[in-house]
Amino acid sequence: MYRNFSSNFRSGASFWRKNQKLKIKRNRAKNVFKKLIFSMAFIFIGASSYFCFTEILKFLKNWDFLMVKEVKIHASNPHVEREVREKIKRLSPQNLLFTDAEVIENLIRENPYIKEVNIRKILPTTLEIFLVEREGIAILSDKNFFLIDEDGEIIKETDKSELLPLIEGATLKDSIAIKIGIDLIKDLKKKGFEKFVETIDVSNPFNIGIRLRGSPTKVYLGSSDFLEKLERFMKLEKYLRKESGKIEYVGFYDNERLYLKALTDKDGKKNLKVSNEK
């Protein structure tokens, strides 16, 4: 009886183990099947979404309702506006949504006169471009001639044909000296004097020199009160020339006192006069 019981127990345990292994295999097969179904569903949904997305993009790209029909350009300089409009025309933007604003901006910035660019897309068909231009305020002489703006930034290499004050005595790296010259020009513009100035010498920041157009005389203005001193010289110029002939330079001790040196006379002698005239 004991032997039969032991044999039956072993047979039952063996059957139970086999049954458990079979369940585990079935569960594994079910899990693999579920994962396969999930993966297939995910791929199907992804492919369907991608297909739908690309079809929608194609539709939007070719939709006449979104085609660029108007380009508005806001610029103070008509020449710059025409040039930018011509570049946009060559680029030929089609669909407003798919127009790359960065590409347009980089194209516009090829113009050295452009300082800032702001591009707006106005649905459904308008591209609007706002431009801030650089204005040449002076020509800087440093081996070559460079047109610079009010920030001291180089606009382009140029020649002396432009009727702008020529800043001398500074290199491209002398930002402080250049700023002194630019600030002086800004002050001159307030009174309309900049058109009379041919050169500004900033080689000595403590004694800025100016030469007026058509005049051989260099006027040294010190380091302050430039406009007051220049106005005083312009009022006294006829009197000084009458007294001293052609003048090489005039300098100011202060707003009240000045000194001058006349050009060499016909006999090769130098005529030096000092004047305290007001």
- Which residue would you say has higher pLDDT here, 52 or 10? 52
Q: Where are the domains of the chain?
A: 1-61, 66-133, 138-275
Pairing status of strand 247-252 against strand 258-262: antiparallel
Q: For residue 55, with 0-12 CB atoms within 10 Å meaning exposed, 13-18 middle and 19 or more buried, which class applies?
A: exposed
Is the bond into 124 cis (omega within 30 degrees of 0)?
Answer: yes
- pLDDT on residue 220: 94
Residues 262, 273: contact at Cβ < 8 Å?
Answer: yes
Confidence of residue 34 (pLDDT cuts 50, 70, 90): confident
Domain 66-133 shares a fold with domain 138-275 = no
Topology at the third CATH level for domain 138-275: Rossmann fold (3.40.50)
Pairing status of strand 138-142 against strand 166-168: parallel
Q: What is the mean pLDDT of residues 173-186?
A: 94
Phi and psi at residue 37, to the nearest 5°: -65, -45
Count the Cβ atoms, other than its own, within 10 Å of residue 164: 19
> Residue 184 above 90 pLDDT?
yes
- pLDDT on residue 23: 65
> Residue 276 above 50 pLDDT?
no
- pLDDT on residue 175: 92
Topology at the third CATH level for domain 66-133: Ubiquitin-like (UB roll) (3.10.20)
Least confident of 39-43, 53-57, 62-66, 116-120: 53-57
- pLDDT on residue 203: 94
- pLDDT on residue 246: 85
pLDDT digits (tens, 9 = 90+) for 128-164: 999 999 999 999 999 899 999 999 999 999 987 778 9
